Amino acid sequence: MSLVFEDITLKNALDVGNSEHGLIKASEVHEVTVRCMADTGAWTLVINEEVRAALGLKIKNRRKSTLANGDTAISDMSEPVEVWWKDRSMTCQAVVLPNATRVLLGAIPLEDMDLMVDPVAEKVVGRHGDEALYTLM
Protein backbone atom coordinates (compact mmCIF):
# COMPACT_ATOMS: atom_id res chain seq x y z
CA MET A 1 0.00 0.00 0.00
CA SER A 2 1.29 3.44 -0.81
CA LEU A 3 1.22 6.48 1.42
CA VAL A 4 -2.12 8.27 1.71
CA PHE A 5 -2.21 12.03 2.13
CA GLU A 6 -5.18 14.27 2.95
CA ASP A 7 -5.78 17.92 3.73
CA ILE A 8 -7.08 18.55 7.23
CA THR A 9 -7.77 21.73 9.15
CA LEU A 10 -6.48 22.06 12.69
CA LYS A 11 -7.85 24.61 15.16
CA ASN A 12 -6.82 25.57 18.68
CA ALA A 13 -9.78 24.10 20.59
CA LEU A 14 -9.41 26.55 23.48
CA ASP A 15 -9.61 29.44 21.02
CA VAL A 16 -12.75 27.91 19.50
CA GLY A 17 -14.36 27.74 22.94
CA ASN A 18 -13.31 31.30 23.78
CA SER A 19 -14.79 32.48 20.47
CA GLU A 20 -18.06 30.67 21.11
CA HIS A 21 -18.26 32.38 24.52
CA GLY A 22 -17.58 35.81 23.03
CA LEU A 23 -14.17 36.20 24.68
CA ILE A 24 -12.31 36.50 21.37
CA LYS A 25 -13.38 37.16 17.78
CA ALA A 26 -13.81 34.23 15.40
CA SER A 27 -11.00 35.75 13.32
CA GLU A 28 -8.65 35.33 16.30
CA VAL A 29 -9.00 31.53 16.40
CA HIS A 30 -5.64 29.97 15.50
CA GLU A 31 -6.18 27.63 12.55
CA VAL A 32 -4.06 25.96 9.87
CA THR A 33 -4.78 23.65 6.97
CA VAL A 34 -2.08 21.05 6.49
CA ARG A 35 -1.35 18.10 4.25
CA CYS A 36 -1.15 15.09 6.55
CA MET A 37 -0.35 11.45 6.12
CA ALA A 38 -3.06 9.04 7.27
CA ASP A 39 -1.11 6.69 9.52
CA THR A 40 -3.01 3.87 11.18
CA GLY A 41 0.18 2.93 13.02
CA ALA A 42 0.20 6.25 14.90
CA TRP A 43 -2.21 6.34 17.82
CA THR A 44 -3.19 10.02 17.62
CA LEU A 45 -2.45 13.29 15.85
CA VAL A 46 1.27 14.06 15.48
CA ILE A 47 2.40 17.62 14.72
CA ASN A 48 5.74 19.40 14.66
CA GLU A 49 6.86 22.52 16.48
CA GLU A 50 6.00 24.78 13.53
CA VAL A 51 2.35 23.64 13.52
CA ARG A 52 2.18 23.87 17.34
CA ALA A 53 3.39 27.48 17.22
CA ALA A 54 1.02 28.39 14.37
CA LEU A 55 -1.89 27.08 16.44
CA GLY A 56 -0.71 28.91 19.56
CA LEU A 57 -0.78 25.68 21.57
CA LYS A 58 1.00 25.27 24.88
CA ILE A 59 2.51 22.00 26.02
CA LYS A 60 0.11 20.43 28.52
CA ASN A 61 2.07 17.36 29.63
CA ARG A 62 4.56 14.73 28.52
CA ARG A 63 4.06 11.11 27.61
CA LYS A 64 6.24 8.12 26.86
CA SER A 65 5.81 7.08 23.23
CA THR A 66 7.15 4.39 20.95
CA LEU A 67 8.45 5.73 17.63
CA ALA A 68 8.09 3.97 14.26
CA ASN A 69 11.67 2.71 14.49
CA GLY A 70 10.94 1.06 17.87
CA ASP A 71 12.74 3.63 20.00
CA THR A 72 10.94 5.12 22.98
CA ALA A 73 10.89 8.83 23.67
CA ILE A 74 9.28 11.25 26.06
CA SER A 75 6.98 13.34 23.87
CA ASP A 76 5.32 16.67 24.54
CA MET A 77 1.52 16.65 24.42
CA SER A 78 -0.32 19.79 23.34
CA GLU A 79 -3.42 21.50 24.53
CA PRO A 80 -6.57 20.27 22.72
CA VAL A 81 -6.73 20.52 18.93
CA GLU A 82 -9.87 20.38 16.81
CA VAL A 83 -9.21 18.17 13.78
CA TRP A 84 -11.44 18.76 10.75
CA TRP A 85 -11.74 16.55 7.67
CA LYS A 86 -14.45 17.84 5.35
CA ASP A 87 -17.57 18.15 7.56
CA ARG A 88 -16.30 15.85 10.33
CA SER A 89 -14.39 16.88 13.40
CA MET A 90 -13.00 15.60 16.65
CA THR A 91 -10.86 17.01 19.46
CA CYS A 92 -7.67 15.51 20.88
CA GLN A 93 -4.27 16.34 22.26
CA ALA A 94 -1.46 16.13 19.72
CA VAL A 95 1.96 14.59 20.14
CA VAL A 96 4.49 17.32 19.36
CA LEU A 97 7.63 15.98 17.71
CA PRO A 98 9.86 19.02 17.04
CA ASN A 99 11.62 17.52 14.02
CA ALA A 100 8.64 15.71 12.46
CA THR A 101 8.60 16.21 8.70
CA ARG A 102 4.93 15.21 8.36
CA VAL A 103 1.72 15.73 10.25
CA LEU A 104 0.28 12.28 11.01
CA LEU A 105 -3.42 11.59 11.33
CA GLY A 106 -3.45 8.55 13.59
CA ALA A 107 -5.88 5.79 14.48
CA ILE A 108 -7.84 7.59 17.21
CA PRO A 109 -8.76 10.66 15.12
CA LEU A 110 -9.56 8.43 12.14
CA GLU A 111 -11.78 6.17 14.23
CA ASP A 112 -13.42 9.06 16.08
CA MET A 113 -14.47 10.68 12.77
CA ASP A 114 -15.62 7.29 11.37
CA LEU A 115 -12.90 7.35 8.71
CA MET A 116 -10.70 4.69 7.18
CA VAL A 117 -7.88 4.45 4.68
CA ASP A 118 -9.12 2.97 1.40
CA PRO A 119 -6.08 1.06 0.10
CA VAL A 120 -7.49 0.64 -3.41
CA ALA A 121 -8.43 4.28 -3.98
CA GLU A 122 -5.44 5.40 -1.85
CA LYS A 123 -7.45 8.01 0.05
CA VAL A 124 -9.26 8.59 3.32
CA VAL A 125 -12.98 7.85 3.12
CA GLY A 126 -15.95 7.60 5.45
CA ARG A 127 -16.12 4.11 6.90
CA HIS A 128 -19.90 4.15 6.46
CA GLY A 129 -20.13 6.43 3.41
CA ASP A 130 -20.81 10.14 3.44
CA GLU A 131 -22.56 10.16 6.80
CA ALA A 132 -20.62 9.31 9.94
CA LEU A 133 -22.00 6.43 11.98
CA TYR A 134 -20.89 6.44 15.59
CA THR A 135 -20.86 3.39 17.80
CA LEU A 136 -22.23 3.90 21.29
CA MET A 137 -21.19 1.43 23.96
pLDDT tens column, 75-112? 999 999 999 999 999 999 999 998 899 999 999 999 99
Sign of the CA dihedral 58, 94, 69, 6?
Answer: negative
Using a pLDDT cut of 90, give the percent of the chain over it.
Answer: 77
- H helices of 31-71, in order, are 49-55
- For the segment 35-51, what is each residue's pLDDT rounded down to a tens digit? 999 999 999 999 999 99
pTM: 0.90
Q: 74: number of CA atoms within 13 Å, CB side?
A: 3
